[in-house]
Amino acid sequence: MNAPQTPHTLHFMPSAGFRARAKDVVDNPFLRQSFRGAMDFLMSKRAAQFPDAEELESLRTLGESIRQYNLARLPDLLERLEARLTANGIQVHWAETPDEANEIILGICRRHEAKLMVKGKSMVSEEIELNHAAEAAGIGALESDMGEYIVQLADEKPSHIIMPAIHKTKEQIAKLFAENVPGVDYTDNVDALIQIGRRVLREKFQEADIGLSGVNFAVAETGTLCLVENEGNGRMCTTAPPVHIAITGIEKIVEKLEHVPPLLSLLTRSATGQNISTYFNMISSPRKPGEKDGPSEVHLVLLDNGRSQAYADEQLRKTLQCIRCGACMNHCPVYTRIGGHAYGTTYPGPIGKIISPHMLGLEATKGLVTASSLCGACGEVCPVKIPIPELLIRLREEAFSAPPRANPAMRGQGAGYSGLISAVWRGWAAVYRSPSLYRVATWMGSRLRGLVPSRQGAWTSVRVPLKPAPKRLRDMLKERG
C-alpha cells in the first residue's frame, strides 16, 4: 500500500490538490487505521507524562512566558547571539530565503571540496530542501536519523516533524532496506533493521566532510547551540566530520541558559512522552587547540523565510513561540485522518497551517487555513500555549478579505477573496442583524421546508439534508402564550 507522495519541488503549492490528497488518505482504511493507532500511542505517552492537570497548566504558562519574553527581545538577542558565537569561534550566517540558506551551506561545502554531508534531523533543512540543492551541486546528503533515513530511501518527505516515517509500516521499511541497502536480506525485525541502519551510517560518519544539524535552542548569553535527539546520530554529525553546519530559524533563541530546562522538559514530554531525551548536546565552539576531537569549523545559519513577517504582527507573532514538539499534530483529528503528506508543506498539522502561510504566502496556503474544525485540541496541548484556533481564524480573515489592503500583514492577503462569498456574508449579516428581516427569512424557511432540496452541496455527501422545523421556537412560544 503506497503512501501518497509529495513530488519534489522547491515551489510548494499545498492548496492545489490538498482536498484530493486528503481524500486519498481518508479513503484508504489501512492508512487511516495506522495513523489513528500511531497518534493514539503518542497521545497516551504524553498523557502519562502529565498526570496532574494543575502542574501541566503552570508548566505551560511558564513555557509560554519564556517564549514570549525571548521573542519580545528577539532583535537584540540575535545580535547578542551573533556576537557571543563569533567570540566562541562559531561563524554566523544570515539567510533571508531558502535559496540564500542553500547557497551559504553549499558555499561552505565547496570551500572544503566536500563530497558527502551527513545530516542529523533538521526540519529547517527540509524547509529549504537542502537535499535537492546538495544533489544538484553534486554533493551527497545522507540522512542519519533513522526516520529521515527511511524517508530518504523511499524518496519521500517526512510526514511528521518528530517522527518522519510514521506513515511507514515495518514491512514497508523492511522492503526498502532489502531493495536499497547492498547486501541486506529482507527482515521485518525492528531491532535488526535498526542495526542495519546504524551499521551503514556509522561508516558514513567517518567518511563525511560535513555534518549538518538543526538547533532546538540557541542561547544568547553563552553562545550555545542545544540539540535534542534520541539516537546519538546528532552527536555524531556534530562531532565526527571536520566541519559542522547548524541551521535554524531566527525564532529559536533564548536569552539565558536557565530558560532551557523548562522548555526542554516540555518539549520531550509533549513530543514523545519522554522524561528527557536520550541525548542533549550543547555546542559552544569548534575544537580548541589541544582538544582531540570535534569539528575544526562550526557554522550557524539563521534563516528567516517569512518569520519576520509573522514577527511584525502582535497576534501572528505567537506562531513563533513554537518549540516544534509535534503534540498539536498528534492530537489533531484532521492530521489523524489525513497524515502529514496531504498538507504538501514541510510542517504539517496545526503548526503547519499557521506557519506555512508566512513561508509560502497565502496564495499557496489559503486552502490549508480552512482545514480545521477549530476544535481546539491543538491549543489545549500546545506546551507554549499558542492559541492555534485563534490564529487560524485570523489567517482566514487575511486570506478571504478583499485585496489589497494598504499595508497587508501578510504576503498574499486577499488571495482567497471571492466577491460572491463576501456578498453572501454581507447578505447574511444584513438578515441576522435585523430582527424583522430575520423573522421574515426564517418564517419563509419553515413554511417552505417542503421545498428544501435533497442535495445541499457538500453537506449531503454524507448527511441527510437540513430542513427547518415546521415551527420556529418563537412561534411555539407565542402559541403557548
Partner 1 sequence: MKPAQSPPARPSDVYFFATCVVDQFFPGAGMDAITLLESQGIRVHFPEEQTCCGQPAYTSGFPDEARKVAAHQLTLFPNEWPVVVPSGSCAGMMKHHYPTLFAADPIRKAQAEKLSARIYEFTDFLVNVLGWHPEDHGDACTVVLHTSCSARREMGVHLTGRKLLGDLHKVTVAQQDHESECCGFGGTFSVKQPEISGAMVEDKVKALKATGAERVVSADCGCLMNILGHAAWKDRQEGRAKPSLPGEHIASFLLRRTSK
Q: Which residues of the shown chain bind partner 1 in the complex (CB under 8 A)?
A: 19, 22-23, 26, 32, 333-334, 337-338, 370-377, 379-380, 393, 395-401, 422, 425-426, 428-429, 431-435, 438, 442, 445-446, 457-464, 466-469, 471-477, 480
| 3-state class (DSSP) for residue 383 | coil
Q: Does 320 bind ligand SF4 (CB under 6 A)?
A: no
Residue 319 Cβ, how far from ligand SF4 at the closest point, in Å?
A: 8
**What DSSP string describes 121-188?**
--HHHHHTTHHHHHHHTT-EEEE-SHHHHHHHHTT---SSSS-TTTT--HHHHHHHHHHHSTT-----
Taking the C-alpha atoms of residue 108 and residue 210, their distance in angstroms, rounded to an integer, is 9
Residue where the block lists cell 542529523 = 120
Interaction residues for ligand SF4, span 376-395 (CB under 6 A) = 381-384, 386
Residue 1 grid cell:
500500500
Contacting residue, 93, 324, 341, 358, with ligand SF4 by CB under 6 A = 324
Residue 444 binding partner per list ligand SF4, partner 1, none, with a CB distance cut-off of 5 to 8 Å that depends on partner kind = none
Taking the C-alpha atoms of residue 301 and residue 313, their distance in angstroms, rounded to an integer, is 24
Residue 314 Cβ, how far from partner 1 at the closest point, in Å?
A: 12
Q: Does 328 bind ligand SF4 (CB under 6 A)?
A: yes
Looking at this protein, which amino acid is placed at residue 262?
P
Residue with smaller CB distance to ligand SF4, 160 or 366: 160
Residue 162 Cβ, how far from ligand SF4 at the closest point, in Å?
A: 9
Residue with smaller CB distance to partner 1, 49 or 442: 442
Residue 439 Cβ, how far from partner 1 at the closest point, in Å?
A: 9
Taking the C-alpha atoms of residue 321 and residue 335, their distance in angstroms, rounded to an integer, is 21
Q: Does 56 bind ligand SF4 (CB under 6 A)?
A: no
Q: Does 368 bind ligand SF4 (CB under 6 A)?
A: no
Looking at this protein, which amino acid is placed at residue 207?
E
Taking the C-alpha atoms of residue 58 and residue 260, their distance in angstroms, rounded to an integer, is 16
Which ranges of 181-259 does DSSP label H, i.e. alpha helix?
Answer: 190-207, 233-239
Residue 328 binding partner per list ligand SF4, partner 1, none, with a CB distance cut-off of 5 to 8 Å that depends on partner kind = ligand SF4
Q: How many residues bind ligand SF4 (CB under 6 A)?
A: 14
In sign, the C-alpha dihedral spanning 103, 109, 111, 113 is: negative
Residue 463 Cβ, how far from ligand SF4 at the closest point, in Å?
A: 31
Residue 137 Cβ, how far from ligand SF4 at the closest point, in Å?
A: 31
Residue 454 Cβ, how far from partner 1 at the closest point, in Å?
A: 11
Q: Are 89 and 285 in contact (CB under 8 A)?
A: yes
- The binding site for ligand SF4 (CB under 6 A) comprises 322-328, 350-351, 381-384, 386
